[in-house]
Amino acid sequence: MKKFLGVIALFFVTAISFAQSGAKIEFQAENNTIDYGVVTKGEDDGIRTFVFKNTGDEPLVITKVNSSCGCTVPKKPEEPVMPGENGEIQVKYNMRPGKINKAITVESNAVNVTNGRTVIKIKGEVVQSQS
């Protein structure tokens, strides 16, 4: 019994010591994806906003956002996002007709994602106006 309790105590001490402290990023969009749905060219400005929260205990710094093509232009926050606060990444898609399936890589000092990188996505379809 003493060995069992010792193993349990060791487990908890180890788990606590491996708990990550630092900035953590959590996006509100399901699966980190915003769905434009089906939109008509000329009736939509193509701008969507990804909202995220710093769930960590240190300021979150978004260092870079890169899109998978020039038709998608992301805009990152310029200031650090404090613990418990929300931030936004704005994405503008060039509303040319066709399917939308684009990825944006977000680089930050977040400790809860691999190498501080998170991929957010936009999807949907732009159709030509019927006029």
List, for residues 70-120, the tens digit of each pLDDT value: 999 999 999 999 999 999 999 999 999 999 999 999 999 999 999 999 999
Burial code (b: 16+ CB inside 10 Å, e: under 16) for 40-79 equals: eeeeeebebebebbbebebebbbeebebeeeebbbebbee
Q: What is the pTM of this model?
A: 0.82
What does the alpha-carbon distance between residue 50 and residue 93 come to, in Å, rounded to a whole number? 13
Statement: 25-128 belongs to CATH 3.60.110.10: no
pLDDT in tens, 14-27: 444 345 799 999 99
Q: How confident is the model at residue 129 (pLDDT cuts 50, 70, 90)?
A: confident
